[in-house]
């Protein structure tokens, strides 16, 4: 399973599409709203974590004399390819 920031973005847009489905019953819409709220909370934490990694990488690039590798989570590439 891949879990990248691009995947997160795709999941959030998929959730937006589900919320926009005009054929949902009130009960189904309420369920999607609860799901969207949970996704928002998790996405907020993932994004905050990525921001910390990005800031640490930027500081490392600025002050390190050695080559700095950008963390995979920021570029979304699988090094097995």
Tally of CA atoms within 13 A in the half-sphere of 37 that contains its CB: 6
More confident position, 78 or 74: 74
Could you tell me the sign of the dihedral formed by the alpha carbons of 7, 15, 41, 31, in that order?
negative
User: Is 1 a residue whose pLDDT tops 70?
Assistant: no
Residue 23: pLDDT above 70?
yes
The pLDDT tens digits of the residues spanning 54-63 come to 999 999 888 8
pTM for the model? 0.76
């Amino acid at each position: 399973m891949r879990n990248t920031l691009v995947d997160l973005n795709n999941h959030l847009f998929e959730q937006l599409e589900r919320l926009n489905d005009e054929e949902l019953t009130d009960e189904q819409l309420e369920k999607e709203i609860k799901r969207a709220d949970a996704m928002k909370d998790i996405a907020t934490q993932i994004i905050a974590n990525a921001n910390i990694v990005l800031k640490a990488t930027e500081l490392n690039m600025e002050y390190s004399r050695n080559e700095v590798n950008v963390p995979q989570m920021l570029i979304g590439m699988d090094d097995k390819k």
